[in-house]
Amino acid sequence: MSESIRNKIEEISKELEEHNYNYYVLSNPTVSDFDFDKLLEKLIDLEKQYPEYLQPNSPSQRVGGTITKEFKNVKHKYPMLSLGNTYNEEELRDFDERIKKAGISEFEYVAELKYDGVSISLTYVDGMLKQAVTRGDGEKGDDVTVNVKTINSIPLKLRGENFPAEFEIRGEIFMPKSEFLRINEEMRKQLIEDGYDEEEISERLLKNPRNATSGTLKQLDSKAVAERNLDCYLYSILGENLPFASHYDSLIEAKKWGFKISADMEKLSSVDGVVKYLSKWDKKRHDLNVETDGVVIKVNSFEQQKFLGFTAKSPRWAIAYKFKAARVATILESISYQVGRTGAITPVANLKPVQLAGTTVKRASLHNADIIEKLDVRIGDTVFVEKGGEIIPKIISVDLSKRDLFSEAAQPTKYITHCPECNSELVRSSGEANHYCHNELGCPPQVKGKMEHFVSRKAMNIDSLGAETIAQLFDAGLLKTIADIYDLKKEDLLKIDRMAEKSANNLLAGVEASKKVPFERVLFAIGIRHIGETTAKKLAFFYKNIESIKNATLEQLLEVGDVGERTAQTIIDYFSDKRIEEVLNKLKIAGLQFELSDEQLSNTSEKLKDLSFVVSGVFSKFSRDEIKKTIEQNGGKNVGSISGKTNFVLAGENMGPEKLKKAEKLGVKIITEDEFINMLEE
Ligand code: IVH
């Protein structure tokens, strides 16, 4: 019996690995996702029942779930060196000359793309992945094996038979461009829902695929890694007595063992061939789904590599050629300063329009005062603008030879000291890169931005009051603070352009209805910096009314999950502002909810503290919204989509099969409505 179970486990594992290889390495699927998942489920079930047969390299390990406390720092058997760089054809030809001068006349090159990710060294023993270690400082790196096992294109078990008993293979783990865009898109949606503004969103999004790869590999929860669909190209094999004579042959062989080897590698007979390869890929690389920053050129023969040897830091038989980032020179015509909803000032370079990598560039971000000072960029300067992995073009440097020292304009740039919108003095706190305008209640873009936020759907939900009307009412002097919304009179509204009787009535009805919006949303609506929808809810249910929040000390505020020191200080600063006190008083008099309702109070607890739920389907005892509310009132959190971090999926009737599949795949616990009710009654 047990023998047959073991065989069954082995058989399913083999089949899954085969499908996996076809899909992720060969890009040639041989089974539907559904059948694959069913088979994987069967394997996971059997392994749960018979844990004695669970193999460390079972395909079930790819879904992740292992939590690492910290990564072990381990020494590399062979140090992980770096490569010398070249930036133009001349330097590349110098490299070719050095090889010839060393005494090698007949040789081949192999050219490969230089993938921009995180380098990794994989050790295989008897065909099994034993260890995966990052480069670290080259001598020692982090053991990230559990995370690497979730990367589907990395074989856990090798194919065929004639691989060496023990060897290391190195390569580059990367996040495909499409995956990078997908994750950022999802994060953006979630952040907008949570009430963050553009500036805060761009701070939180993944910066570029390389950064994202390295951040992902450092995750302590391997399930989170599995969700990010990293990929890996392998490009060098190391070991004792390896059975091949050249680099090219070694990779062709490695491909047969199941490794993903780039199809863009080419064997070339001379440096001229390399130059052609460079110019071909300089353009074509943009079409790939992986970021590349250059080409690596290697002498093919292992014997010749050995003869050439190493310098202290890098091999003499290989070199990197770095592509020039798309770069162009243009003139800085002026600098303007934008004021965001939170009062942050962003300097923007207005450029003489110029073509760059297929788009017309007119503006570039200058980020903050430090960057301007470091670049010493002045109006009228000729500047170099570059487009790297990031989306917004950057000013890289100034062409000083073109600076006209006698021109009036060529004065060092003085950063503005006063707000361009309201003329208040700008403040730059220590540790902050940005200058801020603190005139929250008088600076037009801030006031209008705050009002737009106040009326938004997840806040007071006054959809009859749009951005355009806010601007009109603001310009007419009818709206100075959010409190004025509750003083609007019909006769005033009718004086506004294009405002008819019906829209005025609608608007006033919306304002009236908003007085019933519950406390947690009012707290979100008033727009305290760093307080998104979730934090507002936590604060509301923890403190129950606005007076208690106002009276809380910094230490007390830190007791609320989600509130860090910076947020706590912002809350204290907010409530100590006299003008804000006045606005809040007016809102209170107008009848807004500044405390939890009796019903909310009788339903709150901490029973679901720190637990996250995905609620899906139709329920018999409560509506979905009621269930969601109950979760929050009891300290839990509702999340939109299932991830490795989700604690429970609360499944009703007709829950989508995709969600169910995902929950099962990620091992997230699925509970019924009754089980949920039990959790609260326990
Ligand atoms: S070969 C002795 N080949 O570039 C070093 N490296 O500075 C041999 N890289 O850390 C490296 N693509 O992370 C090689 N096709 C490729 C590569 C590649 C990317 C990275 C690697 C290494 C760095 C070299």
Ligand 1: which of 118, 134, 172, 292 to mutate, most ligand atoms within 8 Å of CB? 172
User: In angstroms, rounded to a whole number, what is the distance separating the alpha carbons of residues 25 and 256?
Assistant: 11
Helices 533-543 and 624-633: crossing angle in degrees, nearest 10, is 60
Q: DSSP character for 403?
A: -
Task: Mark whether 618 and 674 lie in a shared domain.
Answer: yes
Ligand 1: which of 235, 267, 291 to mutate, most ligand atoms within 8 Å of CB? 235
Task: Mark whether 305 and 344 lie in a shared domain.
Answer: no
Q: What is the mean pLDDT of the chain?
A: 91
Give the max Cα distance, the chain: 94
Q: Buried b vs exposed e over 403-439: b needs ≥16 C-beta within 10 Å? A: beeeeeeeeebebeeebebbebebeeeeeeebbbbbb
User: Tokens representing 330?
Assistant: 């243009």
Q: Report yes or no on 435 lying in a domain.
A: no
Q: Report yes or no on 246 lying in a domain.
A: yes
Task: Mark whether 127 and 275 lie in a shared domain.
Answer: yes
**What total of structural domains would you count in the chain?**
6
pLDDT (0 to 100) of residue 358: 60
**Nearest of 323, 279, 321, 319 to residue 299 by alpha carbon:** 319
Task: Mark whether 318 and 334 lie in a shared domain.
Answer: no
Task: Mark whether 247 and 396 lie in a shared domain.
Answer: no
Domain-terminating residue out of 602, 633, 664: 602
H/E element holding 389? none
Which domain range does residue 230 map to? 81-322
pLDDT tens digits along 339-382: 987 788 999 999 999 988 666 889 998 989 999 999 999 999 99
pLDDT (0 to 100) of residue 204: 83
pLDDT < 50 stretches in the chain:
none
Phi and psi for 365 in degrees, rounded to 5?
Answer: -80, 140
Q: For residues 331 and 362, is the Cβ–Cβ distance under 8 A?
A: no
pTM for the whole structure: 0.65
Task: Mark whether 362 and 254 lie in a shared domain.
Answer: no
Q: How close is the Cα of 403 to the center of ligand 1, in Å? A: 39
Q: Which CATH number is 101's domain given?
A: 3.30.470.30
pLDDT (0 to 100) of residue 272: 97
pLDDT (0 to 100) of residue 310: 93
Task: Mark whether 457 and 486 lie in a shared domain.
Answer: yes
pLDDT tens digits along 485-495: 999 999 999 98
Domain-terminating residue out of 322, 353, 379: 322
Q: Is 632 in the pocket of ligand 1 (CB under 6 A)?
A: no
Cβ neighbours around 350 below 10 Å, total: 15
Q: Which protein residue's CA is at the shortest distance from atom 2 of ligand 1?
A: 81
**Nearest of 650, 573, 579 to residue 619 by alpha carbon:** 650
246 DSSP β-pair partners? 301
Q: How close is the Cα of 105 to the center of ligand 1, in Å? A: 25
Helix, strand, coil % over all residues of the chain, rounded to 5: 40, 20, 40
Domain-terminating residue out of 305, 322, 339: 322
Task: Mark whether 333 and 248 lie in a shared domain.
Answer: no
User: In angstroms, rounded to a whole number, what is the distance separating the alpha carbons of residues 30 and 613?
Assistant: 35
Q: Is 172 in the pocket of ligand 1 (CB under 6 A)?
A: yes
Task: Mark whether 151 and 106 lie in a shared domain.
Answer: yes
Q: Is 114 in the pocket of ligand 1 (CB under 6 A)?
A: yes
Q: Report yes or no on 417 lying in a domain.
A: no
Q: Report yes or no on 71 lying in a domain.
A: no
pLDDT tens digits along 376-406: 999 999 999 987 655 678 898 999 988 877 7
Q: How close is the Cα of 192 to the center of ligand 1, in Å? A: 38
Read off the amino acid at residue 311.
Answer: T
pLDDT (0 to 100) of residue 473: 94
Q: For residues 527 and 456, is the Cβ–Cβ distance under 8 A?
A: no
Q: How close is the Cα of 116 to the center of ligand 1, in Å? A: 9
